[in-house]
Amino acid sequence: MIRVGVAGASGYSGAELLRYLCRHPHVELGVLAAGTQQGRRLAESFPQFRGILERPLEEADWRRLAAESDVVFLALPHGLSMDAAPELLEGGARVVDLGADFRLRDPQLYRDTYGEEHRAPALLDEAVYGLVEARREQIRETRLVASPGCYPTAAVLPLLPVLPLVEGDEVRVVVDAKSGVSGAGRGASLGTHFSEVNENLRPYKIGAHRHAPEMEQALHSVRPGTRVFFSPHLVPMTRGLLATCYLVGDRLPGRREVESALRAAYAEEPFVRLLDGDDLPETKATYGSNFCDVAVRVDEARGCVVLLAAIDNLGKGAAGQAVQSMNVLCDLEETTGLLGAPLYP
């Protein structure tokens, strides 16, 4: 059994992690740490766990977490993992970080993006970006996984195999993404108030969201110089994220070529589902799961290739993908604890 600790158990990603972990056959759950609600039982904070996981939420004691865990998941607001990870690694635990602290390799880019100095820059090189479909071998070898953001997961997965097909020097990508509200976390604010979100569709941080540099970095691995313009939108739903990714230009690949590249990359992947024919991804088809559904449309007359990908932002976009990384990290069958049909309707 793998002893697992979770820090950030009182947030949405933390709770979703626990939903996966408490039915994982090779996991023994240890400390559940939380920044808020310490001392309460988990089920007082999240009523779904009544009778299922009757555990206290404890203070995050990194030394103890390291000592009692083989793997520690960090589901914390950004800026906290870079303090915790060094201690956890030193204590002998491996770390899967769901936050942003170790995703960007360049400390200066981190500072420009998150507005503070990185306090563990030495680990940036060591951390492996946990997009399993693209980095499986590196994840197997690392101690520290930087699990991707929800938006980059949905945008990068379909773009990775396709970008190399684009001719010319410059590649411009527009990512127009739409996310459910749980992506914003459990903190109460006017922006997450039901009456403000419901019956509303709201763009935010157009061209200025912190996930754009993360997307560009990931895409540069296959196509240096790619420029991503990223537009996130808040949708009146709890879960679900759709990325509609546009390649615009003169020298784009045709539909068959794109589909071949996607098939070559993902036909054997257990969590990427390539849609055929007229099907298009819809978020509900991935609800509560680790799947990513992908489709493509090409309009040669208008010079446009569109890649669409749907995920559950808390599943493949956060907790599911993190568990997938843990499975790889621990030499388990990659799909362990992650299968089962999405919830629909």
Q: Is the dihedral of CA 283, 284, 285, 287 positive or negative?
A: positive
Please report how close the Cβ of residue 260 comes to its own copies at its closest, in angstroms.
Answer: 19
CA distance 119 to 107: 9
The correct pick among 2, 18, 84, 163 for binding its own copies (CB under 8 A) is 18
Please report how close the Cβ of residue 191 comes to its own copies at its closest, in angstroms.
Answer: 8
Q: Check residue 238 for interaction with its own copies (CB under 8 A).
A: yes
Residue 205 tokens, joined: 């941080």
CA distance 67 to 93: 7
Assess whether the previous peptide bond of 270 is cis (omega < 30° from 0): no
331 burial via Cβ count (<10 Å: 0-12, 13-18, 19+): exposed
Three-state DSSP at 283 gives helix
- Ramachandran region of residue 6, left (φ > 0), alpha (ψ -120 to 50) or beta? beta
CA distance 45 to 75: 16
The correct pick among 306, 311, 319, 328 for binding its own copies (CB under 8 A) is 306
Instruction: To the nearest 10°, report the CA torsion of 252, 261, 309, 249.
Output: -10
Identify which of residues 95 and 294 has a Cβ nearer to its own copies in the complex.
Answer: 294
Identify which of residues 85 and 173 has a Cβ nearer to its own copies in the complex.
Answer: 173
Q: Check residue 108 for interaction with its own copies (CB under 8 A).
A: no
Identify which of residues 122 and 188 has a Cβ nearer to its own copies in the complex.
Answer: 188
Identify which of residues 67 and 184 has a Cβ nearer to its own copies in the complex.
Answer: 184
Q: Check residue 114 for interaction with its own copies (CB under 8 A).
A: no
Please report how close the Cβ of residue 244 comes to its own copies at its closest, in angstroms.
Answer: 6
Which of the ranges 85-93, 127-135, 244-252, 319-327 carries the binding residues for its own copies, by CB under 8 A? 244-252
Q: Which of 145, 315, 155 is nearest to 228 (CA)?
A: 155
Please report how close the Cβ of residue 86 comes to its own copies at its closest, in angstroms.
Answer: 32
**DSSP 8-state secondary structure symbol assigned to residue 192:** G
Identify which of residues 92 and 340 has a Cβ nearer to its own copies in the complex.
Answer: 340
Please report how close the Cβ of residue 149 comes to its own copies at its closest, in angstroms.
Answer: 18
Q: What DSSP string describes 223-248?
A: STT-EEEEEEEE-SSSS-EEEEEEEE
Site for its own copies in 26-65 (CB under 8 A): 46-53
Q: Which of 100, 93, 216 is nearest to 143 (CA)?
A: 93
The correct pick among 229, 264, 333, 335 for binding its own copies (CB under 8 A) is 229
The correct pick among 115, 140, 206, 333 for binding its own copies (CB under 8 A) is 206
* 330 included as an active-site residue: no
Identify which of residues 101 and 214 has a Cβ nearer to its own copies in the complex.
Answer: 214
Site for its own copies in 167-186 (CB under 8 A): 172, 174, 176, 178, 180-182, 186
Q: Which amino acid is at 338?
A: L
Residue 292 tokens, joined: 């990513």
Q: Check residue 242 for interaction with its own copies (CB under 8 A).
A: yes
Site for its own copies in 270-289 (CB under 8 A): 273, 275, 279-289
Which of the ranges 93-101, 123-131, 202-210, 324-332 carries the binding residues for its own copies, by CB under 8 A? 202-210
Site for its own copies in 311-340 (CB under 8 A): 339-340
User: CB neighbours of 302 closer than 8 A, spacing ≥ 6?
Assistant: none
Site for its own copies in 207-226 (CB under 8 A): 207
Query: Cβ–Cβ contacts within 10 Å for residue 226, how many?
Result: 21
Active site residues: 150
